[in-house]
Chains A and B, each alone.
Chain A
Amino acid sequence: METTQLVKGVLDLAVLAVVAREDGYGYDVVRRLREAGLRDVGEASVYGTLRRLFAAGALTSYVVPSDEGPHRKYYGITKEGRAILERQGKTWRDFSSTMDDLLTEAEKVA
């Protein structure tokens, strides 16, 4: 199964989880997702997701000026974002354990 397709469905959740732990700028979020094991995550998708979550009020953003070069845009999670994370996280856990059970049953039969 294509991991890319799976990641697409849960990217919001994954990004919220990463930012909830610590504020981060776009590339930092990409790196942390990859370090966590989501190797196939695309830069553009993460940036777009950050922007969409921001527009939805789940994230806040602020610019950190830099003397050496261009500015960085940081994202942090809002109260609303934490609520979404909790709700969607629960949905994911339920879904994931349902899938686990299904697969375990299948293995037993095999």
Chain B
Amino acid sequence: MNEPTTVLPEANGQREVQHYVERVRAALADLPSDVVDDLTLGMEADLAEMRAEMGPGAGDPLTARLGEPEVYAADLRAAAGIPAATGSRELGARDPLADLRRSWDRLRAEQGWVDETARFLLTLRPAWWVVRGYAITALILAAPFGGLRSMVPPGPGFWVGTVAAVVSVRWGLRGPVDSTRTLLVRIANVVAGLVVAWLLVAISASQSLAGAQVAPADAGPAPAYSSMSGSYDLSNLYLYDQDGKRLSNLRVFDAMGQPVDQMDQDGVDELVRVDTVGVHHQNVYPKAIRGQDAWTPGAAPTSSPAAPQPAVSGATSAASPGTR
């Protein structure tokens, strides 16, 4: 076996080669994709070697040497004994994917900005390879390791995801190896795409529909409350004095002086009027639930403008009243 000459073409030659191969593939796009892969696998390496032998040249030396990619593709097809593009279409072996690819190529040829955008997006491929690694890991590991939280460093998912991302990038850099690998990569891309889409939907849903998960009257999950002193889950607060007596209509502030008033939750009434001057405050606990007193369900809320002015946190003085 001949030792292949090591080819490290300068970036320009490499781009020229890739462009040429792309156009040849486009001209073969009516064929099933595994045939196209089969016909063009190794082509990039070979052309790179040829291009490197030719040395620097003005214009498009590859086309000068090999002819237009479309002609090259036609020769390749003829020599390989594969019917020409029109022939396979007449047979009714219409490949909708190939049709789509052809229309896409036409669009790129006609609209400069489409081509430019497509090229720009291609340069972002390595970023996608990284995302793909993490996304697949998230899908596989999220359940056994306690949800997506495991993906946040230093969770196990993060480290496995990092390894997966490295593998994914390596696969991306290598390009198509054989049809099995190509198929695997395609499946991985689709699955990763679905995971990312699902995550995006889930994130936007958790922001806009946080209240969809109704907290039970006494406890239960709630959207994360986050303040300058950290974040934690909070649906309502039930406060007692030192004798264990239930307290109502207390305005709560955290140590940073921020009113604790996160909630937009179904069932938990937002506004409770406690102020003597009639200002609405949101950080008043316990909040009434579905119009009923949180301590004694069934009773009307005890809050009233005449309620005593509470002082819970030592930082109340630093707090500005939470008004709406």
10 A-B pairs within 8 Å (CB atoms) are namely A24-B2, A25-B4, A44-B75, A45-B78, A46-B79, A48-B75, A51-B38, A64-B4, A69-B7, A72-B46
Q: How far is the CB of B84 from chain A (nearest CB, A)?
A: 12
Contact residues in B for A45 (Cβ distance below 8 Å) = 75-76, 78-79
B49 touches A27 (CB 8 A): yes
Chain B residues contacting A73 (CB-CB under 8 Å) are: 41-42
Q: Which of B134-142, B172-180, B194-202 interfaces with chain A?
A: B172-180
List CB contacts (< 8 Å) of B164-201 with chain A: 174-175, 177-178
- On whether the beta carbons of B6 and A68 are closer than 8 Å, the reply is yes
Name the residue on B nearest A51 (C-beta): B80
Whether the Cβ atoms of A49 and B7 lie closer than 8 Å is no
A87 in the interface (beta carbon within 8 A): no
B48: Cβ under 8 A from any A Cβ: yes
Q: Is B214 an interface residue (CB 8 A)?
A: no
| Contacting pair A71 B42 (CB below 8 A) | yes
Contact B43 A74 (CB under 8 A): no
A66 contacts B39, CB within 8 Å? Answer: no
Taking CB atoms, residues of chain A closer than 8 Å to B66 are 43-44
Q: A26-B42, A27-B49, A51-B39 are in contact. Are A74 and B78 (CB under 8 A)?
A: no
Q: A27-B49, A47-B79 are in contact. Are A70 and B8 (CB under 8 A)?
A: no
- Count chain A residues whose beta carbon lies closer than 8 angstroms to a beta carbon of B: 30
Q: Which residues of B contact A (CB under 8 A)?
A: 1-2, 4, 6-9, 14, 38-39, 41-50, 66-67, 72-73, 75-81, 174-175, 177-178
The smallest beta-carbon distance between A54 and chain B, in angstroms, is 8
B177 touches A65 (CB 8 A): yes
Partner of B79, one of A44, A64, A69, A71: A44
* Cα-based distance from A47 to B77 in the complex (angstroms): 9
The residue in chain B whose Cβ has the minimal distance to the Cβ of A46 is: B79
Chain A contacts with B in 22-67, Cβ cutoff 8 A: 22-28, 42-49, 51-52, 55, 63-66
* Known interface pairs A48-B79, A65-B174; A22-B72 also in contact (CB < 8 Å): no
Q: Which residues from chain B contact A24 at a C-beta distance below 8 Å?
A: 1-2
Q: Which of A23, A51, A66 has the most CB of B within 10 A?
A: A51
A-side contacts of B175, CB under 8 Å: 70-71
A69–B80 contact, CB under 8 A?
no
Do B79 and A66 touch (CB < 8 A)?
A: no
Question: Quick check: B80 and A63 within 8 Å, CB to CB?
Answer: no
Q: Are A28 and B2 interface neighbours, CB within 8 A? A: yes
Residue of B4, B39, B48, B72 near A43 (CB, 8 A) is: B72
Please tell me which one of the listed residues B4, B8, B38, B178 contacts residue A72 in the complex, with CB atoms under 8 A apart: B4
Instruction: Give chain A residues whose Cβ lies under 8 Å from the Cβ of B77.
Output: 48
Considering the chains assembled together, what is the distance between the CA atoms of A51 and B81 in angstroms?
A: 9
Check A63–B41 contact: CB distance below 8 A: yes
Contact between chains at A70 and B48 (CB < 8 Å): yes
CA gap between A77 and B310 in the complex, in Å: 91
CB distance from A46 to the nearest CB of B (A): 7
Return the chain B residue nearest A76 by Cβ. B1
| Shortest CB distance A2–B (Å) | 16
Which residue, A22, A55, A69, has most C-beta atoms of chain B within 10 A?
A69
Taken together as a complex, chains A and B put the C-alpha atoms of A73 and B38 apart, in Å, by 10
Query: Contact: B46 with A26, CB < 8 Å?
Result: yes
